[in-house]
């Protein structure tokens, strides 16, 4: 848990919650704040299984997965290839398109060009191509007078994506089955604060949706999970413009390391299916392996 990414603090919260749940389930748990000495720490501990509660770069982009494969330590969640593919939003979209899963139009552009002019007709969204937890996301509205004022630490190349209006939906996949659909209700954009601050958003689980939309969300999430090669637990996020019916449903991204905090979505969806948080964590441990 922890790690070196922009999502370090969220990962620490996820890790502590998972560690406590696993202790309650009867496992012997050692909490490791993943730093540059991670290999030495793992060799010292010699764990039977690594529960990966890292978020963001290095933790869910294939890096730590490759390290664990090298050390032959069984680990939870997705492997090297699926993690790297899902973390790269542009390449994940290529996989979705190949499977016939609808995606919003997007392009990759130099950040200086995005700062200088509209590279896409507004409204659009600007975001890093390889970060999660809504880190570094900017919405450029239709009435915007000029391009967005981006933070200095934005990466050199960013994704610019057509803004899809409507409702925020998400579906977790556990093993080979899609769980409940959740609708996320906020006063504005589902940003970092809305995701992790108490009261930042309201989750409706299961979401109140037309049957065909709920079924399509679950189908798209399961097909995305399989096409990317995900293992264990993943969560796919969607936007739905209900005025357009089924044609207004788009997948945004698939998270191979869904948050496991008190306000996180996947544990809520598992609970809606009758699985406690401790049972979910235990399922992930028992599912762990190498060669993922």
- 166: annotated active-site residue: no
Indicate if the alpha-carbon torsion angle 168, 169, 174, 175 is positive or negative.
Answer: negative
**Residue 132 pLDDT:** 57
- 237: annotated active-site residue: yes
Q: Give the distance from CA 23 to its chain's centroid.
A: 25
Residue 3 lies in a domain: no
Residue 149 lies in a domain: yes
**Residue 200 pLDDT:** 59
| Res. 162: pLDDT tops 50 | yes
Of the listed 14, 133, 201, 234, which one is catalytic?
A: 133
Of the listed 62, 131, 259, 292, which one is catalytic?
A: 259
Q: Domain ends where: 162, 181, 205? A: 162
| Rounded-to-integer distance, Cα 256 and Cα 84, Å | 9
- Which residues is 253 bridged to in the sheet? 237
What range does the domain containing 192 cover? Answer: 85-102+166-287
Is residue 56 a contact partner of residue 223, using CB atoms and an 8 Å limit? no
| Rounded-to-integer distance, Cα 65 and Cα 145, Å | 44
Residue 1 lies in a domain: no
Same domain as 91, residue 63:
no
Same domain as 274, residue 138:
no
CATH classification at residue 23: 3.40.50.20
Residue 229 lies in a domain: yes
Q: What does the block give as tokens for 70?
A: 């090298």
Same domain as 263, residue 176:
yes
- 9: annotated active-site residue: no
Same domain as 257, residue 179:
yes
Q: Helix H segments across the chain?
A: 8-24, 38-45, 63-71, 80-87, 89-98, 111-116, 192-196, 211-228, 265-272, 277-287
**Residue 172 pLDDT:** 98
Q: What is the mean pLDDT of residues 168-179?
A: 97
Same domain as 97, residue 217:
yes
Of the listed 231, 235, 239, 292, which one is catalytic?
A: 235
Strand 177-185's sheet: what is its strand order? 202-204, 177-185, 167-174, 233-240, 249-255
User: In terms of Cα–Cα distance, which of 169, 257, 239 is closest to 205?
Assistant: 169
| Rounded-to-integer distance, Cα 23 and Cα 278, Å | 9
Q: What does the block give as tokens for 238?
A: 């969607």
Same domain as 178, residue 157:
no
Same domain as 260, residue 152:
no
**Residue 159 pLDDT:** 96
- 96: annotated active-site residue: no
Residue 275 lies in a domain: yes
Residue 120 lies in a domain: yes
Is residue 151 a contact partner of residue 173, using CB atoms and an 8 Å limit? no
Find tokens 């809305």 and name the residue. 194
Same domain as 283, residue 196:
yes
Q: What is the mean pLDDT of residues 64-68?
A: 98
* % of the chain exceeding 90 in pLDDT: 87
Q: What is the pLDDT of residues 104-156, one digit of tens each?
A: 999 999 999 999 999 999 999 999 988 754 568 999 999 888 999 999 989 99
Stated pTM of the model: 0.91
Instruction: Find the largest Cα–Cα distance for the chain.
Output: 58
Of the listed 168, 183, 237, 268, which one is catalytic?
A: 237
Of the listed 14, 106, 255, 266, which one is catalytic?
A: 255
Q: Domain ends where: 126, 146, 162? A: 162
Q: Give the distance from CA 124 to its chain's centroid.
A: 20
Q: What does the block give as tokens for 77?
A: 């969640």
DSSP 8-state class, residue 103 = B
- 259: annotated active-site residue: yes
Same domain as 268, residue 188:
yes
What's the chain's Rg over C-alpha atoms? 19
Of the listed 2, 3, 5, 7, which one is catalytic?
A: 7
Residue 2 lies in a domain: no
Q: Give the distance from CA 80 to its chain's centroid.
A: 15
Same domain as 264, residue 186:
yes
**Residue 61 pLDDT:** 94
**Residue 133 pLDDT:** 46
The domain tally of the chain equals: 3
Mean pLDDT, the chain, whole residue set: 93
Q: Domain ends where: 77, 94, 116? A: 77
**Residue 223 pLDDT:** 98
Of the listed 62, 196, 232, 250, which one is catalytic?
A: 196
Burial class (CB in 10 A: 0-12, 13-18, 19+), 135: middle
Same domain as 236, residue 181:
yes
| Res. 99: pLDDT tops 60 | yes
**Residue 135 pLDDT:** 62
Q: What is the mean pLDDT of residues 202-222?
A: 97
Q: What is the mean pLDDT of residues 215-229?
A: 98
**Residue 68 pLDDT:** 98
Residue 171 lies in a domain: yes
- 7: annotated active-site residue: yes
- 255: annotated active-site residue: yes
Same domain as 261, residue 122:
no
């Amino acid at each position: 848990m922890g790690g070196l990414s922009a999502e370090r603090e969220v990962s620490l919260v996820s890790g502590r919650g998972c560690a406590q749940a696993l202790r309650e389930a009867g496992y012997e748990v050692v909490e490791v704040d993943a730093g540059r000495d991670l290999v030495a720490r793992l060799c010292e501990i010699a764990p039977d299984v690594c529960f990966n509660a890292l978020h963001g770069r290095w933790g869910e982009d294939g890096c730590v997965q490759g390290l664990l494969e090298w050390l032959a330590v069984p680990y939870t969640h997705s492997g090297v290839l699926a993690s790297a593919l899902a973390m790269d939003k542009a390449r994940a979209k290529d996989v979705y398109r190949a499977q016939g899963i609808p995606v919003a139009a997007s392009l990759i552009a130099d950040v200086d060009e995005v700062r200088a002019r509209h590279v896409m007709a507004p409204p659009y969204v600007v975001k890093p191509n390889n970060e999660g937890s809504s880190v570094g996301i900017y919405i450029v509205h239709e009435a915007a007078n000029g391009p967005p004022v981006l933070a200095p630490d934005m990466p050199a190349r960013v994704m610019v994506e057509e803004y899809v209006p409507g409702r925020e939906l998400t579906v977790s996949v556990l093993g080979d089955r899609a769980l409940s659909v959740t609708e996320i209700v906020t006063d504005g954009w589902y940003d970092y604060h809305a995701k992790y601050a108490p009261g930042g958003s309201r989750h409706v689980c299961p979401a109140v949706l037309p049957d065909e939309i709920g079924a399509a969300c679950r189908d798209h999430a399961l097909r995305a999970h399989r096409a990317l090669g995900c293992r264990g637990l993943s969560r796919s996020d969607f936007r739905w413009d209900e005025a357009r019916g089924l044609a207004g449903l788009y997948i945004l991204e698939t998270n191979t390391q869904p948050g496991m905090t008190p306000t996180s979505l996947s544990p809520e969806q598992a609970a809606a299916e009758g699985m406690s948080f401790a049972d979910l964590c235990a399922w992930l441990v028992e599912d762990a392996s190498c060669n993922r």
